[in-house]
């Protein structure tokens, strides 16, 4: 899983079409799930407070029939 605080290459490219190189490569070629717009600052602050750097992440997407994406609420459990 790749999680970022920003959208990964989701801005329009020079042709006006989306430039999704990271999405395409990570998901299609490597089979890695991509989660955009995570609040990693809050996660790092909580980890520092807990003095724990390992945690379990659970993600429950909305099941869309034949969908390729879904809003999620990732939860880190220390």
Predicted confidence (pLDDT) per residue in 7-58, tens digit:
665 555 566 555 566 777 788 888 888 888 888 999 999 999 999 999 999 9
Are residues 27 and 33 in contact, defined by beta-carbon separation less than 8 angstroms?
yes
Q: What is the pTM of this model?
A: 0.64
pLDDT at 6 over 80: no
Domain residues for 41? Answer: 2-77
Question: What's the confidence (pLDDT) of residue 11?
Answer: 54
Are residues 10 and 18 in contact, defined by beta-carbon separation less than 8 angstroms?
yes
| Tally of structural domains, the chain | 1
C-alpha distance from residue 55 to each of 47, 75, 77, 78 (Å):
9, 10, 6, 5
Contacts of residue 39, defined as CB under 8 A and 6 or more positions apart, other chains included, come to: 5
């Amino acid at each position: 899983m790749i999680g970022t605080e920003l959208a990964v290459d989701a801005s329009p490219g020079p042709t006006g079409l989306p430039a999704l190189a990271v999405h395409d490569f990570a998901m299609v070629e490597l089979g890695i799930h991509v989660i955009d717009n995570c609040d990693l600052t809050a996660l790092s602050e909580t980890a520092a407070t807990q003095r724990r750097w390992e945690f379990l992440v659970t993600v429950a997407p909305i099941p869309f029939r034949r969908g390729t994406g879904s809003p999620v609420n990732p939860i880190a459990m220390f």
